[in-house]
Amino acid sequence: MATHGGIDLGGTKIQTVIVDDDHEVLGSARRPTPTSGGPPDVAREIEAALREAAEQAGVEPASLAGVGVGSPGTIDGGNVTSARNLPDWEGSFPLASTLSDALGTPVRLGNDVQVATDAEFALGAGRPYNSLLGVFWGTGVGGGIVLDGKPWVGRGAAGEIGHIVVELDGARCTCGRRGCMEAYAGRSAMEAEARRQHEEGQKTDLFKLMEKHEKPRLTSGIWARAIERGDELAERLIDEAVDALGIAVASACNVLDPEAVIIGGGLGVRFGDPYAKRIYEAMMPHLFHDDHPPVMRVAELGDLGGALGAALLVA
Amino acid sequence: MATHGGIDLGGTKIQTVIVDDDHEVLGSARRPTPTSGGPPDVAREIEAALREAAEQAGVEPASLAGVGVGSPGTIDGGNVTSARNLPDWEGSFPLASTLSDALGTPVRLGNDVQVATDAEFALGAGRPYNSLLGVFWGTGVGGGIVLDGKPWVGRGAAGEIGHIVVELDGARCTCGRRGCMEAYAGRSAMEAEARRQHEEGQKTDLFKLMEKHEKPRLTSGIWARAIERGDELAERLIDEAVDALGIAVASACNVLDPEAVIIGGGLGVRFGDPYAKRIYEAMMPHLFHDDHPPVMRVAELGDLGGALGAALLVA
C-alpha cells in the first residue's frame, strides 16, 4: 500500500500528515509557521514537520508516493507567489522543487482553501453531494468550489467569497477594498474593530481574556469564551459577521446553486452547528430560490482537513 | 442538411428562427407575447410564430430535426413553472409536449438566459473563451454561466446574478428582497424609481419621450434617448445601475473567475461598448484579483441571440 504526505501551510501553523491509500492517518505533526526569515526558512520548517510525521508513521520521506501542499497565495505550477500571510513572501518562490529536492519525493501544490474543500467533498461533510461551496471562516474568509464532482478554480482565482461585496461603500477590508464580506466577518477585521471600539471606551472582556490565556491575538477560542460569558461587544461583532456571511453565501449560491454549503475554518468549526444554523438563517432572506435552499453543514475533518486535502493532490 | 427551430419566449415578445446545421438563419418571425389568457394561449402564439418562420424558410415544422425553447421560469424537464413575466403562469405547464404535439417534432426546453449565454459562447462574443459569465441587462438582470466549455446551471437555478446583494438593507427588489443588484439595475426597477422621483417633483423628459414614441413603458430606446439629451434623472439612475452592475459582476467574478464577461440584454446591447467599459470600470475596484481581470465584451447576436441559443438545444 502506498503512503502519501499532506501539508497544510497556514499563516500561524504548519500541519503535516502521512496517510495510506484509504486516507488513514499514519502520522502527523504540527509546528508554528516561522514569523521571520523568508520562504527558504518556511520551506525548511515544512520539511522538518513532514519528516516528523513520517518518523511517527515509520516511513522514509523518500519512500512516499508523493507529497501535496495546500498553500496560501497564488499557485502557479510549482511556485507560490504573494503569500501575504507568510513572512517576506511577496514575490515568487519555487516551493514544489525546493521541497521535492529536500524530501526526495514528488511535490504538488494546491490552494489551501480549495484542498480543504476537496477534503470535505471526498472524506468529510460534503460526501453526499455532487456540488458544494466551502466557506472557511477564520482570519479571513476563504471559499472553495466543487461542481459536478470536480474542483472549480477558474483561472486560479475562483472562490474568493471573502471579497464578495456585502455593502456599497462599506467597511474597509484588509485587502484595501470597501464593503467586502471579510471586512465584517474575518477574524482580523473583527479584532481591529473590537480594538477600535474598546479604545473608544466600549466595555469588553475580549482583550482581558486574550491576556489571561496568553494569546497574541483574539483567537477563535477567545471569541467563543467572550460569547459564552455574554460579552456585548463580542456578541455584536459576531452578529455582524454572521449577517455578512449569510449575505455573501446567498450571493454565491444565487450564482452557483450548489447542493451544499460546508462551513469550516477556525471560527466556523469552533462555533459549530448553532452558528451554521445562524448563517443559514441570515442567508435565507437573500436566497433567490428559497424554496430549494442548499444544505448547510459544518466541516467534519477539523484541524487535519487542509493536510488531508493536500494529500489528495497526490493520491 | 437538417433544419432546427429556435424559440425565445420573452415577457414582451416571442422570437422564432429556423436554422440549418451551420446556424444560418433560414427564416424568422416575431410576435408580441399575449398579455392575457394563460399558458395554452401563449403556446398557441408560439406555435404560430414558429410556423411563420418555417414558412419563410420553406420547410414544414414536422420536417424539423427538433425545436428548442428558451423560457423564463423554472424548467423541469418538459414543464415550465412560475414564469412570472408570462400571463397566469404561476403553476406548471407541459410546454414541451404541447408544442411537440402541435408541431409534430421533438421540443426541448432551456432557461432563456442560459441559452442566450450558450449562443454567445458558441456563435457570438464568447467564442474565444472557455469560461464566461453572461449578463443580460434588461427588464431584470439575468445571468448565464459557461465553465470549461459547458453550461453550468447548478440544480437548475444558477446564474441569478440580478439577485446578488449589493447593499445591506438596500432598495426593495421586484422579487421582494432587499438590496439585490436588479433593484438598482433592472429596467422595471429603474422605471419605478424614475416615476417615484418624477412624482416628487424631479424634472425629467423620460415620460414625455415615452408618450411621444407611444411606448407603454420606459424601453431601452427611451432610456438611450433621454441620456443622449442629457436628462439628469436618467443619467443619475443609469449611473446607479452601472455601479450596481459593476459590484455584482465583481462579486460573481470573485466566485467564478471566468475568462470573459458578456454584456447582453436590451439595455446592454442598446448602450453597447461605452457602457460595457463603464461596467468594467465599476467592477475593477471590487475585483479581488484585479491584476488578471476577465475580458468584458458586448453580446454580438443581438435580438436573435435567445432564439439561436434555443436552436442549439436540439443541434
CB of A169 within 8 Å of a chain B CB? The answer is no
Which position has the higher pLDDT, A168 or B195? B195
Answer whether B73's CB lies under 8 Å from B84's CB: yes
CB of A256 within 8 Å of a chain B CB? The answer is yes
Q: What is the mean pLDDT of the segment spanning A249-257?
A: 98
pLDDT of residue B11: 84
Closest CB from A155, A164, A243 relative to B251? A164
Interface of B with A in 59-98 (CB under 8 A): none
Pairs of CB atoms within 8 A across A/B? 128
CB of A295 within 8 Å of a chain B CB? The answer is no
If you count them, how many residues does chain B have?
Answer: 315
Contacts of B179 in chain A (CB under 8 A): 286
- Give residue-wise pLDDT tens across range B119-139: 999 999 999 999 999 999 998
pLDDT of residue B74: 85
Over the range A85-108, which residues count as b (16 or more CB within 10 Å of their CB) and which as e?
bbeebeeebebbebbbebbebebb
Q: What is the mean pLDDT of the segment spanning A306-314?
A: 97
Closest CB from A158, A247, A257 relative to B165? A247
Question: Would the pLDDT of B173 be above 80?
Answer: yes
Averaged pLDDT score across all residues of chain A: 95
- Give residue-wise pLDDT tens across range B28-83: 999 999 989 999 999 999 999 999 999 999 999 999 999 999 999 888 889 999 88
pLDDT of residue B236: 98
Closest CB from B177, B248, B286 relative to A177? B286
- Give residue-wise pLDDT tens across range A204-225: 999 999 999 999 999 999 999 9
Say yes or no for a CB contact (<8 Å) between B168 and A288. no
Strand (E) or helix (H) holding B207: helix B206-212
pLDDT of residue B254: 98
Question: Would the pLDDT of B85 be above 80?
Answer: no
- Give residue-wise pLDDT tens across range A21-76: 999 999 999 999 998 999 999 999 999 999 999 999 999 999 999 999 999 988 88
Answer whether A113's CB lies under 8 Å from A141's CB: no
Burial class (CB in 10 A: 0-12, 13-18, 19+), A153: middle
φ, ψ for residue B226, nearest 5 deg = -65, -40
Say yes or no for a CB contact (<8 Å) between B286 and A179. yes
- Give residue-wise pLDDT tens across range B134-170: 999 998 999 999 999 999 999 988 999 999 999 989 9
Question: Would the pLDDT of A85 be above 80?
Answer: no
Q: Cα distance from A50 to chain B (closest Cα, Å)? A: 31
Question: Would the pLDDT of A87 be above 90?
Answer: no
pLDDT of residue B118: 97
Q: Cα distance from B92 to chain A (closest Cα, Å)? A: 15
Residue A86 CA to residue B55 CA, distance in Å, equals 68
Q: Which residues contact B83 (CB under 8 A, 6 or more apart)?
A: B71, B72, B73, B89
Cα–Cα nearest to A117, from A106, A129, A108? A129
Nearest residue of A to residue B181, measured between CA atoms: A251
pLDDT of residue B14: 96
DSSP symbol at B252 = H
The pLDDT confidence band at residue B102, using thresholds 50, 70 and 90, is: very high
- Give residue-wise pLDDT tens across range A275-292: 999 999 999 999 999 999
Answer whether A186's CB lies under 8 Å from B295's CB: no
Is the pTM of the predicted complex or chain greater than 0.80?
yes
Question: Would the pLDDT of B3 be above 90?
Answer: yes
Answer whether B122's CB lies under 8 Å from B132's CB: no
DSSP symbol at B6 = E
Closest CB from A155, A166, A252 relative to B257? A155
pLDDT of residue A219: 93
- Give residue-wise pLDDT tens across range B282-303: 999 999 999 999 999 999 998 8
Q: Cα distance from A98 to chain B (closest Cα, Å)? A: 27
Q: Cα distance from B298 to chain A (closest Cα, Å)? A: 20
Contacts of B282 in chain A (CB under 8 A): none
Closest CB from A153, A248, A285 relative to B177? A285
Interface of B with A in 103-162 (CB under 8 A): 131, 143, 145, 147, 152-161
Q: A309 is written with which cell numbers?
A: 486535502
φ, ψ for residue A182, nearest 5 deg = -60, -25
pLDDT of residue B12: 84
Answer whether A115's CB lies under 8 Å from A309's CB: yes
DSSP symbol at B62 = G
pLDDT of residue A241: 98
Answer whether A217's CB lies under 8 Å from A189's CB: no
Q: Which residues contact B277 (CB under 8 A, 6 or more apart)?
A: B296
Burial class (CB in 10 A: 0-12, 13-18, 19+), B120: buried
- Reduced to 3 states (helix: H, G, I; strand: E, B; else coil), residue B161 is helix
Interface test with A, best of B178, B256, B261, B292 (most A CBs within 10 A): B256
Closest CB from B155, B258, B259 relative to A257? B155
Domains of chain B: 3-116+305-312 (3.30.420.40), 127-299 (3.30.420.40)
- Give residue-wise pLDDT tens across range B216-271: 999 999 999 999 999 999 999 999 999 999 999 999 999 999 999 999 999 999 99
Sign of the dihedral through C-alpha A202, A203, A206, A211:
positive
Say yes or no for a CB contact (<8 Å) between B167 and A164. no
Q: Cα distance from A188 to chain B (closest Cα, Å)? A: 18
Q: Cα distance from B287 to chain A (closest Cα, Å)? A: 8
pLDDT of residue A273: 97
Question: Would the pLDDT of A124 be above 80?
Answer: yes
